[in-house]
Amino acid sequence: MLIIYNTSIISAPFFSSTLKSFKNLSIKVIPVELDFIFLDNFKAVPVEVKYKEKIYDREFKNLEIFCRKFKLKKALCLWKNINAEKIKLGELVIEKKPIYFI
């Protein structure tokens, strides 16, 4: 997993070695897979990347679990479709934004 903080990418090994400098930091491990976690002013935004044009709501199960566990109301999905959309799953709002590969 990569953690993106203010447009800087922090790889998992670097991040884990940096954590030693935080005294009261607790890390919770949950059994879900996410592609990225974007940190926006110390607020986590989980990011899922889907390289397809049609995505079903059931494909966001990991985002839902992660957001419920950490009480987040917003997530991001980067997808192949050219349209930006927002979907609502309960209290969670997932912004689907286009991603272009060259």
Domain boundaries, the chain: 2-98
Q: For residue range 9-31, list pLDDT tens digits in order.
A: 444 444 444 445 545 555 566 67
pTM of structure? 0.67
Cβ density class 70-85: b for 16+ within 10 Å, e for less: eebebbbbbbeeeeee
- How far is 42 from 38, CA to CA, in rounded Å? 9
When pLDDT is averaged across residues 85-95 and rounded to a whole number, the result is: 93
pLDDT of residue 96: 93
Query: Mean pLDDT, the chain, as a whole number?
Result: 76
- How far is 6 from 17, CA to CA, in rounded Å? 19
**pLDDT at residue 8 is higher than 90:** no
Sorting pLDDT into bands at 50, 70 and 90, what band is 76?
A: very high
